[in-house]
Amino acid sequence: MDSLTQIVLGASVAEATLGKKIGNKAIVLGAIAGTIPDLDIITRFFVDDLTASVMHRGFSHSLIFPFIAAPILAWILKNIYSKYQNVSFYDWLKMFFLAIITHPLLDAQTTWGTQLFWPFEWRIAIENIFIIDPVYTLPFLTFLILTAFQDRLSRKRKLYNSLGLIISTAYLLVTLSFKGVAHYKIQKALEENNIEYKDINTRATYFNSILWSGQIELEDSYIFTYYSLFDKSSPSFTKKFPKNHDMLKPFIDEKKIQQLIILSNGHYIMTKENNELIFWNLKLGQKGFDENASPYIWSYIIEKNEIGKIMLDEKNEKMDALKVKEVRSFRNNRKYSEEFNMFIERLKGI
């Protein structure tokens, strides 16, 4: 999830754990603890972008990490705030442990995938919530702000913070049920169209849990669709996009190629255009909201230099091919208002 959401979650969990004893210090310390797992972004200063992307949401987002980080932080804070005689080492430990472990548990519900079971490469990606969802974050933030303005022993303080945690958790459970509905409708449409498939990947779309995208893996290709909870018609599917995984065979043992596959959670297609071999990562889904939509969003051009080493030119969007390391956007001439209108129209249902 985005940093603001993780800050709010960590702060609220810490408040529920220790707010009654140390007041707003719990909110501040919980907010800091809630962002600690994302400090793995510093790896970008020491390794290339691809390796850093693979390492992100690794060890610091694992179930092991809180057991290491929480005791260290608890010991430090116990010594810094020794004046709090009523706060034991266990109290500090519980606060930091819960504030840290809830971070990867929430991240695992997004698209990127989280190595909860590090050092194993298996990434958990439930995909029931988009990385930024105002419906989840804003009520949570509102109740946290209200909490901060109450006396630490006030009943209202406990009430506001509890409401924030309950509503946000309930929303996550609701998104899981919405995802289940979308998955069922897409699966039913596939059966009605006599389409044999290997896997269905259903994920939340931008900033909401009403419109869901479906990525369907066939034997040698992918097709895509959308389903809105307001739909009255069955989902329609795009044309087939061949996997062409055999194009990658000459490079399959290269470390960087293996990293690309890991980063895509194994969902990718290969194309060759203008003598360029292109690896399309399907993690970001498709571009467009109808049967003519394209999955071409996130790509790498693969080539070897003079000494035979794999070179990757990382790009977003097929059309303008901007380097991600230079510009963190899809392309500089996107018609955002037009795309937003198309998105809203599709969200309204068909």
312-332 pLDDT tens trace? 766 554 333 333 232 233 444
pLDDT of residue 319: 33
pLDDT of residue 308: 59
Q: How far apart, in whole angstroms, are the C-alpha atoms of residue 39 and residue 115?
A: 15
42-53 pLDDT tens trace? 888 888 888 888
What is the token pair recorded at 276?
């360029």
pLDDT of residue 306: 57
SS (H, E, C) the chain: CCHHHHHHHHHHHHHHHHHHHHCHHHHHHHHHHHHHHHHHHHHHHCCCHHHHHHHCCCHHHCCCHHHHHHHHHHHHHHHHCCCCCCCCHHHHHHHHHHHHHHHHHHHCCCCCCECCCCCCCCCECCCCCCCCCHHHHHHHHHHHHHHHCCCCCCHHHHHHHHHHHHHHHHHHHHHHHHHHHHHHHHHHHHHHCCCCCCEEEEEECCCCCCEEEEEEECCCEEEEEEEECCCCCCCCCCCCEECCHHHHHHHCCCHHHHHHHHHCCCCEEEEEECCEEEEEEHHHCCECCCCCCECCCEEEEEEECCCCCEEEEEEECCCCCEECCCCCCCCCCCCHHHHHHHHHHHHCCC
Q: Tell me if the bond preceding 235 is cis, omega within 30° of 0.
A: no
pLDDT of residue 132: 93
Q: Which residues of the chain have pLDDT under 50?
A: 317-332
- Order of all β-strands in the sheet with 310-316: 268-273, 276-281, 298-304, 310-316, 322-323
Tokens 């754990």 — which residue? 17
* Closest by CA position to 10, among listed 137, 110, 95, 115: 95
pLDDT of residue 113: 82
Task: Write down the pTM of the prediction.
Answer: 0.88
pLDDT of residue 273: 82
